[in-house]
Structure 1
Amino acid sequence: MTAALTADPSRLEAAAPAPPPPVSAGTDLSLFVEPLGDGRARMDFAVDGITCAACMPVIEQGLACEPGVETARINLTHRRLTVEWREAATTPQAIVQRLAAMGFRAFPFDPKAVEGEEAREARFLLQCLGVAGFAMMNIMLLSVSVWSGNVSDITQEQRDFFHWLSALIAVPAVAYAGRPFFRSARMAIAARQLNMDVPISLGVLLAVGMSLVETAHHATHAYFDSAVMLLFFLLIGRYFEQLMRRKTRSVAANIAALRAETAVRIMPDGTLRQVPIAAVSAGETVLVRPGERVAVDGVIVAGRSALDQSLVTGETLPQEVGPGDAVYAGTLNTSGNLTVEVRAAARGTLLDEVGRLLETALEARSSYRRLADRAAALYSPVVHLTAIATLVGWIIAGLAWQPALIIAITVLIITCPCALGLAIPAVQVVASGALFKAHVLLQSGDALERLAEVDTVVFDKTGTLTLPDPALDRPAGLSDEAFALAGRLALSSHHPLARALAAAVPDARPLDEATEEPGKGVRALVDGRDVRLGSLAFCDAQTEGAAVAAAHPDASLIAFRHGDAAHVFAVRQVLRPDAVAVAAALRRAGFELEILSGDRAEAVATVAQALSITAAQGDMKPVDKIARLDALKTAGRRVLMVGDGLNDAPALARAHVSMSPITAVHLTQAAADAVFLGDRLAPVAHALAVSRTALRLMKENLWIAVVYNAVAVPIAIAGLVTPLIAALAMSGSSVIVTANALRARHGRL
């Protein structure tokens, strides 16, 4: 990894996982900063010292106080911090220093280095676990030896000898095996914060310290075995929690594995040169040989082959491709050589977009998660106050300080809010992974919750219920020159019907002066003539359109006017392969279905009839769609809007929740709460099913955490459990909420 920034290396134990090497505070981090425009910038930091969900609000709220910082988001799975700031107000070095003041070391995020560091930490935890387990077994053997005979036969000297022998084993074992908790607690206290490891550390140290005092005073009982067993079970929970994090990160790692590092560039003289993908620019041509992954997004200019495009289309069988077909980075070439003209290479590919959306889903913060985070952050001070009150209360009640302290230690351990901290993130991670496998990527933190509340699904037609690549009928009498001009106009439009026309004129170049009017069409001034492409009304081609509509009643129409002449193209839409089955499944699940489309009413009616959807409207402008959504909202309906066109963006933003296909224009994607991949509509149904299950599980996990504490805390305060039982109960509650979260993988409508 690149050199790292550190605030205080002495805080880290020598035998802890090796951190990146420290550098001076003046290190240049500009290479890692991503400019966002408008004087804003963003950078990903790897943060050392994050141990639990309670650390997240500490960092995010702490950075919110830094002048110039606009957003700070923690991904607990990756231990990655994404910060956006105003460049005029702060610098990445200032952000690192602010984190250091809070007790966290930060350095530039490198996925490969983070994986290596987590592997080292996993080995470190296993070493600590092994030491704790070895010490626990030996101390238990000593305890058995002490009490196996007649108690009255054991002399005070023998008991003290076995207690000191247990201390000789326990003290170094606790000092070594407890470092994951002690280091985290020390960093939190140094930063004047309280995390979940502070009460754990206090509980362990108090148990050992009190046992030493008891042994020195020749007491009958000591608790070295409880302290070591407590650490053993806590380390088991910490190790499995890390395994879960690494497993949930595997989906993103699989996407990264699809990205090629190099490409074979075709030089102007026809020679081939293998270059890093960062050196490839749009407009160049690259060669993709059989067995290689496509390294770029582009268009095939020569060659035929079969591509495995399961990431993009969801289709597991290889698809035949040839000149004019689009290819995407990450797809696998299975047979022939392909010459590809590059559209995007190192950045801006569909693979990058999928990875970004997946990261957004994993980092998303729903209202339930924000509630759990706030509760976990408040929990630590409440835990300590409860333990102190318990200690004082029992002493006032007449109990000796030793048993009172044991009860207070039990309270410290049993009330640790691990289950509460895991309750929502665990469900979100599992649900996001299940949705990704179903080709759905979330863009909004509370999208799962809002999807779960949906009772009405409203579809756009063109490019949503139908495939984005329709068939085009060229009007009779349209000259090649006019046809080429129509194709140039079509390249300036984002409408799916225009894409069909643009595809029919492969050599056309867009008109620089063309402007698009959402919901109407595209216009430009060419050689002093007004040329238009779009709706019949926009092009004043109602008469020509009536004739074409009579000949093609089920087709969509797109008009082209150049000067006084008008022509109308018939575009035949093809339903998505599973549209009929998905519509039927949604109806059976109790959803109301509607179609709102800007296309002709006749074309909309044909699709509605095929899908058995009774509520369908055509010839709708963006304002009409918004009015209909407002009417549904007034009627108490929770609407999911599914659309892909530029004219759908306002409606998507207005709906209760929204989805769009990955083929949608960027403005539409930005307005949507989720996007789906492939040619099928099934991801929409999967999203609704998984979200319903996930919301139910979030509520169940919160109740599990609340009920656990409502039952466990009074029992602990009453002195009815030991510290060891408290550790088992705390770990058990975390296991229960995690296991419950795994059920989100099997959402059903």
Structure 2
Amino acid sequence: MSALGVVAPGGRTPAPGRASLELLVPGARCAACMSKIERGVAALPGVAEARLNLSAHKLSVTFTGPAGDPTRLIDALDKLGYRAALYDPARAREAEDEEGRRLALALGVAGFGVGNAMMFTVPVWAGLFGQELEPATRTLMYWMAAIVATPCALYAGMTFFKSAWSSLRRGRANMDVPISIGVILTLIVSFSETLRGGRHAYFDAAVTLIFLLLIGRWLDHKLRSKAQGAARDLLALQSPIARRLDDAGAPRPTPIGEIVVGDRLAVAPGERVPLDGVVLSGVSTLDNALISGETAPAPAAPGTAVHGGAVNRDALLVVEVSARAEDSTLAAIARMMEAGAQAKSVYVRLADRAAAIYVPVVHSLALATFIGVWALGLGAHEALMRAAAVLIVTCPCALGLAVPAVQIAASGRLFQKGVLVKSGAALERLAEIDHVVLDKTGVLTEGRPRLVDAPPVVVARAALLARASRHPLARAVAAEAGLGLIADRCVETPGQGVEGVIDGRTARLGSAAFVGVATPGLETELWFDAGDGTKVRLVFADALRADARAAIDALKARGLTVEVLSGDGPEPVARACAAAGIESWSARLTPLAKSDTVKALQASGRKVLMVGDGLNDAAALALAHASMAPGAAVDAAQNAADLVFEGSGLMAVVAAVDVARAARRRSLENFGFSALYNLVAAPAAVFGLINPFVAAIAMSGSSLAVTLNALRMGLAARSAKTPAPVNAGPAATRPDLELARP
């Protein structure tokens, strides 16, 4: 292939004299893949930069010159172990859910095998109730079951077989190893019994086990896809089209991928800023609530640095781009979210820890049984049957159910309390936390400014101006007054306030400087000048959630430390934390600063629970050991969180911690029972006291026992009494209304 200038599709020119190429790398799935690919490609001669987007599986490569060789790039990726092709959005969407389609197909095949194999095995089971079939008929039924079940089990079980083989190649054994060996050995024993005309074969059991396990795998895949959607939701805030100004100053709609550093963009009122940049002209205010969590609008004037995703509120701005789409603040947060989600995905679950001990012990015992029985002269068939009995009676079904059964019961209990659990592993992580990090706005507080102690007559007159503004504090005044009229000849000065005519007088509502008061203005106040010489200060507060103090006290009583990380200013953060009883807090934090703080806490050995609701919390939510978001949170925060709670109270966080700890205790009880069961059942199988049929019944009984123990959580929930509400005390500091005369 010839050298690359401007490549299409998938290529673009990011800056004069440089070429760029976008490749689809569907095999990249984790943070390790991202690091390996970016380092490997960036080390190639002629490559200036390489950035991989895990959510879209898109690798963006910038070359040092006006041309590059895509063949060399694709060959390098192939040597790293990844196939690549020119990026095409339609092809990327198709590759994204390939795993889900494969699991769904395997699940359908396994279900078909279960239903049809049982058509032939159910008549054999009837022999247990005096309806014994003739030996020839029984053998025929087993052969028919084998014809149906064997190919279904082998095809549907490839998910487990490949995983088991991959694990063994790395010198480790996961839960798929005993599952795979158990399924294959069950089929071998079943064929052996059928060829000999034996009474018991287990073709239906093999495919049924795979069918049940695939249900869990498919649900786990859907949950992971939902988690990856958090980063996609965040990047969706970058509009695909920006209005780039040409040399004549005329706006031209341009795809965001073609915008380069130095381009000038026009941002109209009500639009999101497409990319990071610096304001060249225009005066307005920006709503950074979704980016920084700051509730007060930020002024924007020439020279002000702005972030992509912020909403321009008042007037037209011209912004000079300072970072490409791949290097923007939103892209950086999305990359941290992807890395955090992948770090959680490799969390070692309780069942996998148990499997590390269980797998080598049980399979060594089965192998020793086979060799020992054969060496004693009892024959290969007896040796195989005893080894099969050992594997069947110690089948990891009970071990595999020990945690999922508890997690299902715990998730149901939390659902009744208004908490949605998105991942079973999240409950395990939540049970381990020792430090709680809260966002302020929307989590510790209600997330909306409210007018404090203002006389109704003042509110009614100020609302005549407030209804003409989109400023959040002005909206709070209008909401307090209700529907009504608007003053005559209203004019809003961006970042200052609103002026209009009330009863023939010129009135103003806005900042202290705007109404002529010589006092330092605060971000949580407005001043109203009715035109008669009296200027009234209107103070706003973001009230604490009603149960915030009670929830903080309950978390501390459980041995947890609590901290607030907020993008708001120091004064409102300090007031809210003092009212809630929180000593440790930080203010004016950027999204990256929040995530860096969480990483530092975890590097020091803390297990952090992050509770947040905004885009500025999304990266920290993904990086934390466990995370929660309220139901009113933005989509990206909810997708990044492990649990989502409804309602207006923080006691749901306390309830989630309690249930997670109880679930861990139940899981450990189930592991203890499984260990005791295996200590009794395995020797019985070794000495031939139970055959494979009895072993299968015993194994099913152990699975039932751990399931019943898990259901005790639901019984405990119904019998528990609801605690009486605790008085949370004053919701927030309520400064008095002030009067000032010039």
With normalisation by structure 1, the TM-score equals 0.51
Match of 2:433 in 1: 449
From 191, 207, 211, give the equivalent of 1:228. 207
Match of 2:160 in 1: 181
Match of 1:413 in 2: 396
Structure 1 residues 729 and 298: CA distance shift in structure 2, 3 A: farther
Report if the CA contact (8 A) 2:552-2:562 is conserved.
Answer: no
Deviation at 1:298, TM superposition (A): 3.9
From 151, 166, 187, give the equivalent of 1:172. 151
Match of 1:89 in 2: none
From 243, 247, 270, give the equivalent of 2:222. 243
Structure 1 residues 604 and 201: CA distance shift in structure 2, 3 A: closer
Deviation at 1:214, TM superposition (A): 0.5
Does 1:252 find its partner at 2:231? yes
Deviation at 1:321, TM superposition (A): 8.1
Q: Distance in 1 between matches of 2:56 and 2:356?
A: 20
Give the match's secondary structure for 1:265: strand
Q: Distance in 2 between matches of 1:233 and 1:658?
A: 32
**Larger CA deviation: 252-261 vs 366-375:** 366-375
Q: Distance in 1 between matches of 2:610 and 2:123?
A: 67
Match of 1:577 in 2: 542
Q: Distance in 2 between matches of 1:413 and 1:613?
A: 51
Report if the CA contact (8 A) 1:306-1:335 is conserved.
Answer: yes
After the TM superposition, which residues 551-590 of structure 1 pair with which residues of structure 2 at under 5 Å, given as runs?
577-578=542-543, 589=554
Structure 1 residues 19 and 352: CA distance shift in structure 2, 3 A: closer
1:682-710 residue CA offsets vs partner (Å, 9 max, x unmatched): 99x99997775665555444434332232
Report if the CA contact (8 A) 2:548-2:650 is conserved.
Answer: no
Deviation at 1:643, TM superposition (A): 3.9
Does 1:707 find its partner at 2:691? no
From 642, 645, 669, give the equivalent of 2:586. 642
From 123, 127, 134, give the equivalent of 1:145. 123
Structure 1 residues 577 and 184: CA distance shift in structure 2, 3 A: same
Q: Distance in 2 between matches of 1:352 and 1:640?
A: 30
Report if the CA contact (8 A) 1:266-1:272 is conserved.
Answer: yes
1:634-670 residue CA offsets vs partner (Å, 9 max, x unmatched): xxxx974424489x99999799889999999xxx99x
Does 1:722 find its partner at 2:666? no
Give the match's secondary structure for 2:394: helix
Match of 2:533 in 1: none
Q: Distance in 1 between matches of 2:51 and 2:39?
A: 10
Structure 1 residues 309 and 690: CA distance shift in structure 2, 3 A: farther
Give the match's secondary structure for 2:338: helix
Q: Distance in 2 between matches of 1:114 and 1:306?
A: 38
Give the match's secondary structure for 2:198: coil
**Larger CA deviation: 342-351 vs 167-176:** 342-351
Does 1:120 find its partner at 2:98? yes
After the TM superposition, which residues 376-395 of structure 1 pair with which residues of structure 2 at under 5 Å, given as runs?
377-385=356-364, 387-388=366-367
From 134, 146, 154, give the equivalent of 1:155. 134
Report if the CA contact (8 A) 2:405-2:710 is conserved.
Answer: no
Does 1:212 find its partner at 2:186? no
Report if the CA contact (8 A) 1:311-1:331 is conserved.
Answer: yes
Match of 2:173 in 1: 194
Unpaired segments ≥5 residues, structure 1: 4-17, 22-27, 47-76, 82-91, 468-502, 505-550, 557-571, 597-602, 616-637
Deviation at 1:207, TM superposition (A): 0.8
Give the match's secondary structure for 1:249: helix
Match of 1:73 in 2: none
Amino acid paired to 1:408: L
Report if the CA contact (8 A) 1:234-1:731 is conserved.
Answer: no
After the TM superposition, which residues 145-544 of structure 1 pair with which residues of structure 2 at under 5 Å, given as runs?
145-146=123-124, 148=126, 154-288=133-267, 293-298=272-277, 311-312=290-291, 328-331=307-310, 338-364=317-343, 377-385=356-364, 387-388=366-367, 400-401=382-383, 402=385, 405-414=388-397, 449-452=433-436
Q: Distance in 1 between matches of 2:650 and 2:270?
A: 37
Deviation at 1:140, TM superposition (A): 1.3
CA RMSD of superposed structures (Å) = 7.0
Q: Distance in 1 between matches of 2:50 and 2:556?
A: 41
Q: Distance in 1 between matches of 2:627 and 2:396?
A: 43
1:505-544 residue CA offsets vs partner (Å, 9 max, x unmatched): xxxxxxxxxxxxxxxxxxxxxxxxxxxxxxxxxxxxxxxx
Deviation at 1:385, TM superposition (A): 3.5
Match of 1:134 in 2: 112
1:432-479 residue CA offsets vs partner (Å, 9 max, x unmatched): xx9999xxxx9xx99982424x9xx999xxxx9x99xxxxxxxxxxxx
Q: Sequence identity of aligned pairs in percent? A: 28
Structure 1 residues 264 and 19: CA distance shift in structure 2, 3 A: closer
**Larger CA deviation: 350-359 vs 165-174:** 350-359
Deviation at 1:167, TM superposition (A): 1.6
Q: Distance in 1 between matches of 2:117 and 2:633?
A: 61
Q: Distance in 2 between matches of 1:109 and 1:640?
A: 50
Report if the CA contact (8 A) 1:410-1:722 is conserved.
Answer: yes
Structure 1 residues 41 and 394: CA distance shift in structure 2, 3 A: farther
Deviation at 1:245, TM superposition (A): 1.7
Amino acid paired to 1:155: E
Match of 1:535 in 2: none
Q: Distance in 2 between matches of 1:197 and 1:262?
A: 47
Q: Distance in 1 between matches of 2:286 and 2:571?
A: 36
Structure 1 residues 574 and 133: CA distance shift in structure 2, 3 A: same
Match of 1:563 in 2: none
Deviation at 1:202, TM superposition (A): 0.8
Q: Distance in 1 between matches of 2:345 and 2:132?
A: 63
Amino acid paired to 2:242: A
Structure 1 residues 699 and 108: CA distance shift in structure 2, 3 A: farther
Structure 1 residues 658 and 691: CA distance shift in structure 2, 3 A: closer
Q: Distance in 1 between matches of 2:580 and 2:396?
A: 59
Q: Distance in 2 between matches of 1:135 and 1:222?
A: 15
Report if the CA contact (8 A) 2:281-2:317 is conserved.
Answer: yes
Report if the CA contact (8 A) 1:387-1:411 is conserved.
Answer: no
Unpaired segments ≥5 residues, structure 2: 1-7, 11-24, 29-35, 60-72, 449-493, 496-517, 524-536, 638-644, 682-689, 718-724, 729-742
Deviation at 1:93, TM superposition (A): 11
Match of 1:628 in 2: none
1:101-142 residue CA offsets vs partner (Å, 9 max, x unmatched): xxxx78799997776445222222222222222222222111
Deviation at 1:175, TM superposition (A): 2.3
Report if the CA contact (8 A) 2:269-2:314 is conserved.
Answer: yes
Deviation at 1:147, TM superposition (A): 5.3
Q: Distance in 2 between matches of 1:706 and 1:673?
A: 20
Give the match's secondary structure for 1:409: helix
Structure 1 residues 447 and 388: CA distance shift in structure 2, 3 A: closer
